[in-house]
C-alpha cells in the first residue's frame, strides 16, 4: 500500500523505541513492555507501520506474532512459528541448531514444562533457538506479540509464555545481546493477569496506555478523504471522539458517501455525521441482539459479571445469590430462584461460544469487550446488581 495510506506516529514510535531498547538503571523493560488501547483504535497498525520500523532502525531484530490473525491456531504455536520463521531464513542458524543438544524439563514460576516441546522440534527449545539467533545476528531481539491475552486462554499458550520468560532471562544475561518482549492487547485487565503476580511469566513488566489518535490524525485524515466538499477537522474530531476514536467508523461512513451519487456537496458534512453514528449504533445493535437472545441464566451471569467487574468470582455464595436476583429482577421469576453451580458453568461455556466472555487457562473469567459492559449499563441491565 502507498505510504500515504497510513498516518505516521513517528514521535511516539521513537519514544517507545528508546524506552524498549534502553538499559537504564531501575528500568523494568527487560521484564517486558505491555502496550494497551481499546480495540479498533489503531494500535496494531501503529505496531506494524511505526513501532516495528523504528525498532529496526535502532538496530533491533524484530519478530511479530499476531495472535488475532487466525483464531483457529493455537496461540503458543503462533509464537513458536514466528521464531521458527526467523531461524529458517538463515542457513547458518539451521545448521548450527541441527547439532544442538536437547534441554531438560524445567520449572518457571507456577508452570512445569519441557522446553523441548515448546521449541522448534524434538531437541531444540525456545531458549536455545533465541540464543542462536542472538549470537548469530549480534542484535537485540524484540518480539512483538499482538493481542497477547489470547495466549493465556490455553495451557500451551501459557507454557509458551513461560518458555519466553526463560529465553528472556538467558538472553538478557551478559552472554548474549538481549531480548525484549512487547505485549499488545485491547484489554488492560486481561494483560494485567500476566504481570500482577510473582508467579506469572511477566511479573513487574511495564504497562503503557497508548495515546489515542488525536487532532493531528483528523487533520491528516480530512486532507486525504477526497470528497466533493472539504470537511472542517474540528467538527470531524468531535465526531471521532464521540464514536470512540475508531478510524474504521469514519472510513465506512466516507465510503458510503463516495458511492451515494445523490448526496450534494453541501449535504456531505451532515450526512457524514449521520452515517458515523449509524455505523456505531449498528455495532451496538448487533451486540444487543445477542444479549437479548440469551437464556435467563446466561443473561444473569453476564449481567453480574458486568456489575462485579474485576471482582467477579463465579461460584462464590454472594455471586450465586446475585444470579438469582438478576433473574428475579428481569421479571422471569416471581421469587428469587435457586441457581446451581452446573447451571452457571454451562452458562459460562455458552457465553464463551458467543464471544461475550473470555477465560484464562486458570479459570479466570472476564467479559470479552468493554463495549458489552457499556451496552448492558446503557440498557439498564446492571441496575440493582450491587
- CA distance linking residue 6 with residue 237, whole number of Å: 18
CA gyration radius for the chain?
A: 24
pLDDT at residue 336 above 80? no
pLDDT at residue 219 above 50? yes
pLDDT tens per residue across span 291-318: 999 999 999 999 999 999 888 999 999 9
pLDDT tens per residue across span 160-169: 898 899 999 9
pLDDT at 35: 94
Where do the domains of the chain lie? 3-209, 215-286, 294-378
Per the model's pLDDT, the better-predicted residue between 315 and 266 turns out to be 315
Which of helix, strand or coil describes residue 47? helix
Could you give phi then psi for residue 346, rounded to 5 degrees?
A: -65, -40
pLDDT tens per residue across span 224-233: 988 888 889 9
Per the model's pLDDT, the better-predicted residue between 77 and 233 turns out to be 233
pLDDT at 255: 92
- CA distance linking residue 140 with residue 255, whole number of Å: 42
Q: Are 166 and 126 contacting, i.e. CB atoms less than 8 angstroms apart?
A: yes
Q: How many Cα atoms occupy the beta-carbon half-sphere of 118 within 13 Å?
A: 29
Q: What average pLDDT does the segment 366-372 reach?
A: 88
pLDDT at 25: 56
Q: Does domain 3-209 have CATH number 3.30.70.520?
A: no
Helices marked H in 99-246: 115-118, 126-137, 155-171, 188-192, 215-224, 233-242
Which of helix, strand or coil describes residue 305? helix
Could you give phi then psi for residue 310, rounded to 5 degrees?
A: -70, -15
Distances (CA, A) of 363 to 155, 189, 322: 11, 15, 20
For the stretch 303-306, contacts whose Cβ atoms lie closer than 8 Å and that sit 24 or more positions apart, written own/partner, are: 303/376, 303/381, 303/382, 303/385, 304/385, 305/357, 305/365, 305/366, 305/367, 306/367, 306/372, 306/373, 306/376, 306/377, 306/381, 306/382, 306/385
pLDDT at residue 26 above 60? no
Domains 3-209 and 294-378 share a fold: no
pLDDT at 356: 95
Of the listed ranges 52-61, 125-134, 235-244, 304-313, the least confidently predicted one is 125-134
Q: Say which residues have a Cβ less than 8 Å from residue 262's Cβ, sequence separation at least 6.
A: none
Q: Are 324 and 337 contacting, i.e. CB atoms less than 8 angstroms apart?
A: yes
Count of H-run helices and E-run strands, the chain? 17, 9
pLDDT tens per residue across span 198-212: 778 888 888 899 999
Q: What is the mean pLDDT of the chain?
A: 85
- CA distance linking residue 149 with residue 169, whole number of Å: 21
State the DSSP string of 85-140: HHHHT-HHHHHHHHTPPP--EEEETTEEEEHHHHTTSSS--HHHHHHHHHHHHTS-
104: confidence class by pLDDT, cuts 50, 70, 90: very low
Q: Does domain 294-378 have CATH number 1.20.120.1810?
A: no
- The pTM assigned to this predicted structure is 0.82
pLDDT tens per residue across span 27-40: 678 888 999 998 88
Amino acid at each position: 500500500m502507498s505510504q500515504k495510506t497510513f498516518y505516521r506516529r513517528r514521535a511516539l514510535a521513537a519514544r517507545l523505541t528508546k524506552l524498549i531498547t534502553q538499559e537504564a538503571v531501575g528500568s523494568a523493560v527487560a521484564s517486558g513492555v505491555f502496550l494497551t488501547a481499546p480495540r479498533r483504535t489503531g494500535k496494531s497498525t501503529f505496531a506494524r507501520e511505526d513501532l516495528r520500523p523504528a525498532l529496526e532502525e535502532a538496530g533491533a531484530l524484530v519478530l511479530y506474532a499476531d495472535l488475532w490473525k487466525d483464531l483457529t491456531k493455537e496461540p503458543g504455536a503462533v509464537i513458536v512459528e514466528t521464531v521458527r520463521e526467523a531461524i529458517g531464513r538463515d542457513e547458518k542458524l539451521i545448521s548450527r541448531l541441527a547439532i544442538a543438544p536437547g534441554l531438560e524439563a524445567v520449572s518457571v514460576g507456577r508452570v512445569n514444562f519441557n522446553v523441548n516441546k515448546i521449541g522448534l522440534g524434538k531437541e531444540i527449545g525456545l531458549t536455545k533457538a533465541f540464543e542462536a539467533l542472538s549470537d548469530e545476528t549480534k542484535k537485540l531481539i524484540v518480539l512483538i506479540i499482538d493481542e497477547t491475552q489470547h495466549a493465556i486462554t490455553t495451557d500451551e499458550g501459557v507454557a509458551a509464555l513461560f518458555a519466553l520468560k526463560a529465553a528472556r532471562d538467558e538472553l538478557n544475561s551478559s552472554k548474549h545481546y538481549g531480548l525484549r518482549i512487547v505485549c499488545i492487547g485491547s484489554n488492560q485487565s486481561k494483560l494485567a493477569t500476566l504481570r500482577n503476580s510473582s508467579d506469572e511469566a511477566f511479573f513487574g513488566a511495564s504497562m503503557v496506555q497508548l495515546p489515542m489518535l488525536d487532532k493531528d490524525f483528523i487533520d491528516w485524515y480530512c486532507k486525504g478523504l477526497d470528497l466533493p466538499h472539504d470537511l472542517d477537522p474540528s467538527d470531524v474530531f468531535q465526531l471521532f471522539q464521540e464514536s470512540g476514536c475508531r478510524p474504521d467508523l469514519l472510513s465506512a461512513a466516507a465510503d458510503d458517501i463516495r458511492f451515494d451519487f445523490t448526496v450534494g456537496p453541501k449535504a456531505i458534512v451532515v450526512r457524514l455525521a449521520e452515517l458515523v453514528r449509524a455505523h456505531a449504533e449498528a455495532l451496538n445493535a448487533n451486540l444487543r441482539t445477542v444479549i437479548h437472545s440469551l437464556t435467563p441464566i446466561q443473561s444473569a451471569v453476564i449481567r453480574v459479571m458486568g456489575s462485579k467487574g474485576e471482582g467477579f468470582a463465579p461460584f462464590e455464595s454472594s455471586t450465586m445469590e446475585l444470579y438469582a436476583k438478576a433473574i428475579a429482577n428481569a421479571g422471569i421469576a416471581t421469587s428469587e430462584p435457586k441457581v446451581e453451580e452446573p447451571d452457571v458453568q454451562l452458562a459460562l461455556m455458552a457465553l464463551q461460544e458467543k464471544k461475550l466472555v473470555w477465560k484464562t487457562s486458570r479459570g479466570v473469567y472476564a467479559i470479552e469487550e468493554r463495549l458489552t459492559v457499556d451496552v448492558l449499563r446503557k440498557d439498564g441491565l446492571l441496575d440493582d446488581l450491587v
